[in-house]
Every structure is written in structure tokens, then in C-alpha cells.
């Protein structure tokens, strides 16, 4: 069939118009356009403040981009409620499309195996995957952790105190909810000596299965001639002298968090080296030391000094610190000025008569009393406030 030249012009014009509409979407009408970047940022900050005010305890890593009428959200969250709240808040501000590309943790790639049990005496948990990355905290053998994702031989985990970080994949027994139920229901013992070993036989000269330290948890498989048959989370078995462990339930029932007991526990750590992020007899930072002392007396504190400063009740020290009681927490740092906010940088445990114990260089004694051999004026000048836990 013949087509007249005029028809070619009409067809060409229609094609050009069609291409133009696809390449350059029609501007959205006033009131329906995506919000300004600062508005999106305010929404992100608002939702984060509500669901993840402390990023050491919750995952909230979200970015956004605009493509035409679409707002694309990318990143990671560990709370489905935070995800819903974020999407709904943005949808209220625009009439375009919100494309959800946020990954919700635990990562689906882990399948159902999103729980783990530490199976080394103590495991380092770092800010990023890698042997030389910053040490954030530690977890002891038998501790149950949540697994969130895996990368380069490391697992991103959350500890029972909600602390987040990376540990080596080989240092944790990976399991599921059923595995945790079995572990939780099993009879266990807690190591009550600084250090020891699990051996292959009831013979001090036998080969070692693994090392253990104060606070480690093991399955109790029964006693035999002064020895205890034990099992690790990963199924390894062995024996320990029953003099270095206690039945976990009996140990928990025996905890009496008094000032004297806190002092006794704290003094048992004198001389242990300072280790940033440390929370074991192999090394402790200031807040790790305080947390461990309270934990071994049946009281759970938060991990960081800044978090611990929110626990308990404030107490006015009084003249010469006479209002303080044994076991009160002492916080040190930079005092607030008209130009700068105050900042907590250190925590210690008060004993009596101005004497306190803390981890700085090592676990050691210091005093507010100028006549004491332990007096440290620089620390006195940095003292901020006290909190009472007991």
C-alpha cells in the first residue's frame, strides 16, 4: 500500500513525542513532588531517634535516592517496625512511589541458622570484620548471640546486652532456635577460677581440649571421681576438676549483690591489664571491669560507661564523698562548659573513705583523699557524678 509523504511527517512527529515523554517525565504538580533532601533527612533522623537512638545497639543504616517520581530507599535495618514507620512517614510527604530496597536483618542468606553459641574461652567482637579492626567488646564461652549477617569469614552478631559487632565465624557454634532451646535447657556449670583447661581424660597429664576462664559456661554431663564430664556447644567433650566449676543454677541462687561482695570480686581482679574493649580476665576496659564485677554478683549492667550512666539513680556525693556507699558507680570525663557539652570517658567502683577501684592501665585502686597513698588529683578534677545501682 502506498503512503503519501504527508503521512510520514505525522508518524515521525508522533514518534518524537513518544520518545520525549519517556526520557523526560512530566514534572509532578506542586504538592505532589518528592520532598526536599533536608526533609527526607529529617524523617530518617526522626525514625532513627525513635527506633535506634544508640547505633551500637541497633542497626539503622539507610540511604535514599530520587529517580523521577520514585524515592528509592537502600540500606539495612534490624527492626521491621522501624522499616514500616520509615516508609509510611515518607509516603505521607509525597504522592510518588517509595521503592523499598532495604535489607532487613537477619540476612535471608543465613536461612534459619540465626543463633550462635560462643565456643572459645573468650571471643573478640570488633567494629568491622578483620583481625586489626577496633575491639568493641568480648563474649565468653557459652554466651548465646544473635547472628545478623556474614562477610569474609566474619559474622555480624548481637550479644545478650544488645551490643553489635563482628566476630570470626569459627569462634561460634552456628545453630537455630531449637539448638538454643536445647542449650538453655541443659544442665550447665560456670567456671569460677581465673583459668583452667578442659582435658580429654581424668588425668592432669592428658591432652587439652580447650582453655577456659572465669565465667565460661559448659554443659554438665556428670561427676566422676572428683572430675566433671563437660560438653561444649559444638559437641566437644572432656573433663575438668570439679573444684574449678559450680552448678550454674546453684551459683545464680547464691549471688548476693552487696557492697562487700562487689568489693571482694573487684579486688580479685587487681593487676589485670587494661584492654580497650576487654571484658574478661585476659584484659578489661573501665566499663567492662564494672560490668563483669556486677555480672559475677548477679546484676546485669549495660556495656559502655555512657550507657551505665543511665542506670540506677543519681546520688549526691556530699562533702568529702561521705554520702557515697560501697558499690556506687563513679563517672569521670570532661565537664560541660558554655561552649562544650560534657562527656563521660571513664567509670569506676566506689569502695569507702574516698577509695575506689577501676581499670586504667590495669585494674587498680585510687582515692579522692589527698592523704591517701592512692590519691590522684587529675582523676578528682575529672570526676562528674555518681550513680547508685544497689
Residues that are catalytic: 286, 346, 358
Give the alpha-carbon dihedral of 303, 247, 179, 146, to 10 degrees.
0
Amino acid at each position: 500500500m502506498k503512503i503519501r509523504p504527508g503521512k510520514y511527517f505525522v508518524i515521525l512527529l508522533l514518534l518524537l513525542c513518544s520518545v520525549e515523554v519517556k526520557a523526560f517525565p512530566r514534572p509532578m504538580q506542586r504538592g505532589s513532588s518528592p520532598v526536599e533532601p533536608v526533609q527526607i533527612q529529617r524523617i530518617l533522623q526522626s525514625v532513627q531517634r525513635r527506633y535506634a537512638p544508640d547505633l551500637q545497639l541497633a542497626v539503622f543504616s539507610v540511604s535514599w535516592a530520587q529517580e523521577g517520581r520514585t524515592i528509592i530507599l537502600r540500606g539495612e535495618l534490624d527492626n521491621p517496625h522501624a522499616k514500616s514507620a520509615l516508609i509510611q512517614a515518607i509516603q505521607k510527604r509525597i504522592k510518588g512511589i517509595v521503592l523499598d530496597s532495604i535489607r532487613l536483618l537477619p540476612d535471608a542468606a543465613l536461612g534459619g541458622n540465626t543463633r550462635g553459641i560462643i565456643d572459645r574461652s573468650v571471643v573478640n567482637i570488633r567494629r568491622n570484620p578483620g583481625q586489626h579492626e577496633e575491639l568493641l567488646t568480648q563474649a565468653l564461652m557459652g554466651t548465646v548471640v544473635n547472628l545478623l549477617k556474614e562477610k569474609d569469614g566474619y559474622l555480624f552478631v548481637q550479644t545478650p546486652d544488645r551490643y553489635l559487632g563482628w566476630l570470626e565465624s569459627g569462634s561460634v557454634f552456628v545453630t537455630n532456635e531449637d539448638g538454643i532451646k536445647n542449650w538453655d535447657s541443659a544442665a550447665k556449670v560456670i567456671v569460677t577460677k581465673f583459668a583452667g583447661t578442659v582435658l580429654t581424660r581424668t588425668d592432669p597429664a592428658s591432652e587439652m581440649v580447650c582453655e577456659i576462664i572465669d565465667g565460661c559456661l559448659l554443659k554438665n554431663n556428670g561427676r566422676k571421681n572428683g572430675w566433671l564430664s563437660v560438653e561444649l556447644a559444638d559437641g566437644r567433650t572432656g573433663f575438668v576438676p570439679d573444684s574449678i566449676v559450680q552448678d550454674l543454677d546453684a551459683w545464680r541462687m547464691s549471688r548476693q549483690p552487696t557492697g562487700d561482695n562487689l568489693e571482694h570480686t573487684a579486688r580479685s581482679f587487681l593487676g589485670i591489664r587494661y584492654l580497650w574493649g576487654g571484658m574478661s580476665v585476659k584484659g578489661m576496659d573501665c566499663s567492662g571491669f564494672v560490668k563483669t564485677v556486677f555480672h559475677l554478683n548477679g546484676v546485669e549492667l549495660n556495656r559502655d560507661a555512657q550507657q551505665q550512666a543511665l542506670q540506677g539513680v543519681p546520688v549526691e556525693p556530699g562533702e568529702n564523698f561521705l554520702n557515697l556507699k560501697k558499690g556506687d558507680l563513679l563517672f569521670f570525663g570532661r565537664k560541660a562548659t558554655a561552649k562544650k557539652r560534657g562527656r563521660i570517658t571513664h567509670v569506676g567502683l566506689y569502695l569507702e573513705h574516698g577509695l575506689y577501684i577501676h581499670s586504667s592501665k590495669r585494674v587498680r585502686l585510687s582515692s579522692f583523699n589527698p592523704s591517701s597513698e592512692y590519691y590522684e588529683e587529675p582523676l578528682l578534677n575529672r570526676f562528674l557524678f555518681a550513680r547508685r545501682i544497689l
